[in-house]
């Protein structure tokens, strides 16, 4: 019993000793040199040593005015040794702060406060002597200087403690951790002529993360995306004999809107850079946060020449071809056919308007829709489809039309002429008045036959199975019909509720659209109207709308709804997208009344489609 008690007591003592034992911690401060000259750099190191794993907070440096903060880094290490037959582990964390002296004199670096696992420690004070002259950054450690950005949290902390910082040099400074360079294919263009601008990131280090803080606003340009990077694909580049890694950030096609000076403003990004000379845990590079911006580029935009400008010129700049065609050269009276005009070429075809069509009076224009696209290659197209209804039979001719554009390469205007198209209008196949009379006569004859008296019963027949069980069969039929009616009613009420909920939601969304309209927030008008349109099409087509384009959802609508909505959407979608993405100069010329009318038409059309479709 005594032995057991002794064992328990010994175990208890060991347990209490282990819980009361604390890690042995040493915190010291050193400098790379106590005597320096004005302008020299030196390293101030705060070292935390411990025989156990501890939690070390960021040191609180003393306030000082004679030195300017330059950079911060951190290193960790673990050493294991065998002493008198026992393994001894020493863990060490070193905080390295680089400073530059700004004035001569004798100064004291006060104690730095470090919190280790909740316990506060203070370092020793250090006396510094700064002499006149110098200015060479070689007196400190040989490790290269690393610039620190204004938004670095450690830089902010040190400036609050009295240390100065400095802003990053311009992108041409190749000693930076990374820089952003803009490349422009031309800086002198005509109004409407394409300028291609590309932004690249250059670095000699590894980038673990990138956050775009600001895309160029490009206020005086119509912008088309050529490529916006979703990941960095680096290639090797040599800059002034130094190997760099380069990756594309974004490339835009820009079309200046009016003459004068236009500026391609900066692209700004924040990156986590792993520097090879700043080591972290386990010997890997520690990520550092930097922010860089590209330079601003001025573009001289020249006015289009007035000499030789054709009367039909509507502003197209580039090189284009144009063609026109009809769906068939033989059409039927009072039945619509399509007349298609397509513009293809280099430039911004999206800005081309439908030319004036001098068609015969016997053709009634029924509808019009357009489609356009800009490709990464710099090519673009715009296609107009006009629906005509012929009101007179016979042969008619759709005359050709002229299309003029300015060609920057030749600095002259070019005019294209389309061919005339002959069409034969055939008689319609609808019912004539004689046919209607014949049908009415046939119907009257059938009615007279049905109105005659039944013939006499020749012989008596035994009642069949239906006659024997007539009441039972009728009761069963009525019961089945009643159940079917109840089921359909429940479904109908559910669908009515769905329609009501969707109608209510669409109404609320359009209130927001009209509020943006009254405030002339055109981008918000376009974005919200596009959202409502996608919402309704997603419900009506049953596609959910997450990854579907408007065109695809329209194609999957029920035929009756598609017939109602397709023309409306085709006429509205271009304007909605223009409100969302067009430059500010284009938005400044928006016709407020016309936009309001179009929005009312869109709301009315969507509401009618919801009501008529059993979604």
User: How many CB atoms neighbour CB 46 within 10 A?
Assistant: 23
Strand order in the sheet with 268-279: 206-214, 268-279, 285-293
Architecture of 318-426 per CATH? Sandwich (2.60)
Going by pLDDT thresholds of 50, 70 and 90, the confidence category of residue 79 is: low
- Tell me the mean pLDDT in the region 426-438: 54
Record the tokens describing residue 501, joined without a space.
């909920």
- Percent above pLDDT 70 for the chain: 67
The pTM of the whole model exceeds 0.85: no
User: How many CB atoms neighbour CB 499 within 10 A?
Assistant: 18
Q: How far is CA 132 from CA 41, 304, 319, in A?
A: 14, 63, 68
Going by pLDDT thresholds of 50, 70 and 90, the confidence category of residue 144 is: very low
Going by pLDDT thresholds of 50, 70 and 90, the confidence category of residue 466 is: low
More confident call, 439 vs 521: 521
User: How many CB atoms neighbour CB 489 within 10 A?
Assistant: 10
Sign for the CA dihedral angle at 234, 294, 280, 22 comes to negative
User: How many CB atoms neighbour CB 4 within 10 A?
Assistant: 8
Return all residues near 18 (Cβ < 8 A) that are at least 6 apart: none
d(C-alpha 517, C-alpha 594), whole Å: 11
- End-to-end Cα distance, the chain: 85
| CATH value of 178-302 in 2.60.40, 2.40.50, 1.10.20, 3.40.50 | 2.60.40
d(C-alpha 547, C-alpha 516), whole Å: 27
> What residues pair up with 29 in beta bridges, in sequence order?
46
Which range has the top average pLDDT, 206-215, 314-323, 568-577?
314-323
pLDDT at residue 265 is higher than 90:
yes
d(C-alpha 54, C-alpha 75), whole Å: 15
Closest by CA to 194, choosing from 120, 240, 252, 235, is 252
Predicted local confidence at residue 531, as pLDDT: 80
Place of tokens 């008008």: 525
Question: Can you identify the CATH homologous superfamily of domain 23-160?
Answer: Immunoglobulins (2.60.40.10)
- Percent above pLDDT 90 for the chain: 25
Going by pLDDT thresholds of 50, 70 and 90, the confidence category of residue 223 is: very high
Whether residue 91 contacts residue 78, with contact meaning beta carbons closer than 8 Å, is answered with: yes
pLDDT at residue 95 is higher than 80:
yes
More confident call, 418 vs 92: 418
Could you report the per-residue pLDDT of 298-330, keeping only the tens digit for each? Answer: 999 999 999 999 988 988 999 999 999 999 999
Predicted local confidence at residue 486, as pLDDT: 64
Place of tokens 């993405």: 581
pLDDT at residue 262 is higher than 80:
yes
d(C-alpha 311, C-alpha 373), whole Å: 27
């Amino acid at each position: 019993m005594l032995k057991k008690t002794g064992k328990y007591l010994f175990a208890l003592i060991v347990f209490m000793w282990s819980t009361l034992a604390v890690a042995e911690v040493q915190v010291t401060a050193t400098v790379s040199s106590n005597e320096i000259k004005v302008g020299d750099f030196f390293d101030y190191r705060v070292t935390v040593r411990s025989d156990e794993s501890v939690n070390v907070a960021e040191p609180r440096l003393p306030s000082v005015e004679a030195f300017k903060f330059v950079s911060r880094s951190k290193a960790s290490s673990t050493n294991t040794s065998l002493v008198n037959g026992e393994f001894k582990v020493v863990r060490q964390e070193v905080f390295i702060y680089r400073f530059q002296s700004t004035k001569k004199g004798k100064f004291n670096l006060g104690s730095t406060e470090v919190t280790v696992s909740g316990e506060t420690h203070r370092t020793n004070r250090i006396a510094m002597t700064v002499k006149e002259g110098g200015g060479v950054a070689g007196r400190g450690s040989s490790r290269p200087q690393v610039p620190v950005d204004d938004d670095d949290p450690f830089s902010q902390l040190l400036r609050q403690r009295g240390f100065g910082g400095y802003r990053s040099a311009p992108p041409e400074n190749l000693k930076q951790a990374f820089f952003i360079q803009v490349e422009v294919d031309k800086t002198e263009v005509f109004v409407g002529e394409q300028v291609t601008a590309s932004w690249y990131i250059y670095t000699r280090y590894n980038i673990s993360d990138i956050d775009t803080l600001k895309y160029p606003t490009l206020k005086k340009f119509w912008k088309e995306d050529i490529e916006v990077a979703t990941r960095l694909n680096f290639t090797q580049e040599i800059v002034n004999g130094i190997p760099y890694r380069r990756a594309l950030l974004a490339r835009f096609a820009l079309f200046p809107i009016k003459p004068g000076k236009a500026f391609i403003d900066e692209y700004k990004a924040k990156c986590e850079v792993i520097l090879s000379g700043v080591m972290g845990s386990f010997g890997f590079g520690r990520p550092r946060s930097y922010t860089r911006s590209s330079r601003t580029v001025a573009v001289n935009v020249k006015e289009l020449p007035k000499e030789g400008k054709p009367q039909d010129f509507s502003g197209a700049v580039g090189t284009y071809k144009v063609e026109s065609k009809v769906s068939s050269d033989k059409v039927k009276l009072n039945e619509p056919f399509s007349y298609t005009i397509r513009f293809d070429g280099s430039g911004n075809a999206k800005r081309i308007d439908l030319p004036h069509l001098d068609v015969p009076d016997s053709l009634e224009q029924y509808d019009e829709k357009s489609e356009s696209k800009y490709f990464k290659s710099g090519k673009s197209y715009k296609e107009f489809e006009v629906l005509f209804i012929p009101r007179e039979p016979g042969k008619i001719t759709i005359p050709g039309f002229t299309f003029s554009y300015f060609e920057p390469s030749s600095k002259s205007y070019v005019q294209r002429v389309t061919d005339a198209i002959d069409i034969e209008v055939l008689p319609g196949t609808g019912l004539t008045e004689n046919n209607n009379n014949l049908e009415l006569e046939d119907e009257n004859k059938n009615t007279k036959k049905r109105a005659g008296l039944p013939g006499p019963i020749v012989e008596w027949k035994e009642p069949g199975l239906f006659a024997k069980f007539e009441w039972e069969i009728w009761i069963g039929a009525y019961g089945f019909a009643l159940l079917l009616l109840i089921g359909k009613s429940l479904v109908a009420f559910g669908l009515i509720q769905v329609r009501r909920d969707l109608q209510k939601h669409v109404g609320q969304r359009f209130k927001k659209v009209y509020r943006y309209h009254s405030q002339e927030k055109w981008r918000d008008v376009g974005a919200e109207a596009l959202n409502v349109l996608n919402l309704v099409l997603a419900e009506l087509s049953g596609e959910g709308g997450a990854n579907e384009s408007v065109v695809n959802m329209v194609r999957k609508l029920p035929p009756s709804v598609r017939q109602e909505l397709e023309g409306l959407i085709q006429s509205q979608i271009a304007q909605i997208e223009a409100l969302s993405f067009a430059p500010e100069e284009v938005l400044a010329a928006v016709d407020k009344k016309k936009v309001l009318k179009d929005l009312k038409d869109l709301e009315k059309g969507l509401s009618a489609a919801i009501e008529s479709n059993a979604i």
